[in-house]
Amino acid sequence: MPLRQRDGAHSHDVVTGESFVRHGPAEPRSPVILSVPHAGRDYPDALRAALRVPLAALRGLEDRHADAIALAARRDETLFVATRPRAWIDLNRAEHERDPRLDDGAWPHGAPLSAKLRSGLGLVPRRVGSAGDIWQRRLSADEVQQRIHADHRPWHAAIAAALASARARFGVAVLLDVHSMPPLGNPATAAQLVPGDRFGKSAAGRFLGRIEGVARAHGIRTMANTPYSGGHILERHGDPRRGVHAIQLEFDRSLYLDSALDQPGPGLATAVRLLRDLIDAVADEALPGAIAAE
C-alpha cells in the first residue's frame, strides 16, 4: 500500500510507493506532468551486496540531484520522482533492452544490440563510466523480472494514468521528463540545456520552440535533440496525434551543482527559475488547444 502524507509546501498529497514518490494530485490540475526518473538514491541492500565497485561509483549513473530542481520548481503540477537508482533498473529503457552479458533473462530478438546495450547501459546497467563493470555476478532472469514488476511497470503505469487524466480534463497533456547531463564541452559555447522530442516524434514542434525561447531569455544556450533526443519514456508516452506530448529536458549539471558536480550549488535557484518558466511556457502553449477541445 502506498504511504499517503501531506506536502506542507503545496498542500497536496505526497504518495510514496515502493520505488517512486508522487507529489501533487492524482487528478492533475495542469496539462503539464513532471517526471524525474534518474535521480534516485535509495540503493537497496541487494544491490549493495552484489557490487564489485564502490557504491560512490554509481553516482556516475545518477542525474545527480535533478529532483531538487523539479521539487522546487513545481507548484500545482503532478510530479513523479523515482527513488530507486538507475543502477537498479533504468526506467528510460524498454523492458526488452536486457543485456545478455549480464542478465540470464535476456533473449535474442533478431535485431542487433543497440549502441546503449553494447556500451553496458541496458535495462539494468552493466557498466559505469571509468569504473567498469558494476556487478560481481550475472543476474538471474527472475531477479530482473522482479525489478520490472516492482519498479518499472508501476512507474510507467502511473505516468500513463496521469497523462490520460490530464488529456481527458484539458484536451492535451505534456510530460516534461527532467534529466541532467555532464557539461558538454567549452563552458563558453556548449549547450547548457538540451530539449529532446525524438526529432519531432514525441511532441509537436511548437513546444520546443517555446522552450528554446524561454532558455534564450534566461541566457541559456540550447541544442535540440543533440546529443540527447529522448529515450523509452518519450517513445512510450509521447503521442502527439492524440494530444499527448513528451519532452526530455537535459540540464547541464554545472548549472545547479557545486564545482565537484556532487551537491546542490549556488546556481540551483537560477535553474529552478528556469524550469518554472519552462513549465509555464509549455502550459501556456498547451492550454489554447485544451480550451478549443473543450
pLDDT bucket at 115, cuts 50 / 70 / 90? confident
pLDDT at 8: 42
CA distances from 119 to 59, 99, 100, 124, 185 (A): 17, 10, 12, 12, 21
- Residue 16 pLDDT: 66
The answer, yes or no, to whether residue 134 has pLDDT greater than 80, is yes
pLDDT tens-digit profile of 138-194?
A: 999 999 999 999 999 999 999 999 999 999 999 999 999 999 999 999 999 999 999
Mean pLDDT to the nearest integer, 48-52: 96
166 touches 31 (CB < 8 A): yes
Whole-number mean pLDDT of the chain? 92
**Res 29: pLDDT:** 96
Q: How far apart are CA 19 and CA 124, in angstroms?
A: 15
Please say whether the beta carbons of 130 and 54 come within 8 A: no
pLDDT digits 0-9 by tens, 245-280: 999 999 999 999 999 999 999 999 999 999 999 999
Helix axes 268-293, 205-217, angle to 10 degrees: 150
Residue 149 near residue 105, CB atoms below 8 Å: no
Q: DSSP string of 229-262?
A: ---HHHHHH-BGGGTEEEEEEEEEGGGTB-TTSS
Give me the DSSP letters along 69-135. HHHHH-SSSEEEEE-S-TTT--TTS-TT---TTTBTT----SSPPPHHHHTT-SSS--EEGGGEE-B
DSSP 173: E
